């Protein structure tokens, strides 16, 4: 009887742990950003105004 409860509790602990790991990585990604997300002035003007410098 107790074996099922222990397995269920361990599964819950693992699920909560995975949630916090994913949440931490997401916050870190949002704070630092990605180098691919940063546009140069030239790229911005090309997208925003259609300029071909």
Q: Give the residue with greater pLDDT, 40 vs 13.
A: 13
Identify which of 19, 16, 39 has the alpha carbon closest to the alpha carbon of residue 27: 19
Q: What is the pLDDT of residues 14-34, one digit of tens each?
A: 999 999 999 999 888 877 777
Distance (Å, whole) CA 3 – CA 46: 63
Tokens of 31: 């704070």
pTM score over 0.75: no
Q: Give the SS3 label for residue 33.
A: coil
Tell me the pLDDT band of 8, cut-offs 50, 70 and 90: very high
Neighbouring CB atoms inside 10 A of 9's CB total 10
Tell me what pLDDT residue 53 has.
56
Alpha-carbon dihedral sign for residues 19, 20, 25, 29? positive
Tokens of 3: 């074996």
Q: Give the residue with greater pLDDT, 42 vs 18.
A: 18
């Amino acid at each position: 009887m107790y074996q099922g409860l222990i397995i269920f509790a361990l599964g819950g602990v693992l699920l909560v742990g995975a949630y916090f790991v994913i949440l931490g990585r997401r916050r870190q990604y949002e704070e630092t950003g990605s180098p691919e997300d940063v546009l140069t002035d030239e790229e911005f003007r090309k997208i925003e105004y259609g300029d071909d410098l």
